[in-house]
Amino acid sequence: MPPPLFTIGYEQASSRAVLDALADAGVELLVDVRAIAASRRPGFSKRQLAAGVEERGISYLHLRGLGTPAEGRQAARSGHYDELRRIYDAHLATPVAIEQMDELKKLVAGGKRICLLCFERHPEHCHRQMVAELVCEDLGVEVEHLAADPLG
Please give the pLDDT value at position 102.
Answer: 98
Q: How many domains does the chain have?
A: 1
Residue 37 domain flag: yes
Domain enclosing residue 17, as ranges = 5-145
The yes-or-no verdict on residue 151 having pLDDT over 80 is no
Residue 107 sits in a domain whose CATH number is 3.90.190
Residue 150 domain flag: no
Residue 141 domain flag: yes
Please give the pLDDT value at position 1.
Answer: 77
For the chain, give the percent of residues with pLDDT over 70. Answer: 99
For 13-147, where are the E strands, in sequence order? 29-32, 59-62, 114-118, 143-145
Residue 93 domain flag: yes
Question: What pLDDT digit, counting tens, does each position of 68-110 carry?
Answer: 999 999 998 898 989 999 999 999 999 999 999 999 999 999 9
For the chain, give the percent of residues with pLDDT over 90. Answer: 92
Residue 152 domain flag: no
Please give the pLDDT value at position 23.
Answer: 97
Residue 94 domain flag: yes
Residue 100 domain flag: yes
Given the DSSP bridges, would you call strands 59-62 and 29-32 parallel, antiparallel or unpaired? parallel
The full length of the chain comes to 152
Residue 151 domain flag: no
Question: Rg (Cα) of the chain, in Å, rounded?
Answer: 14
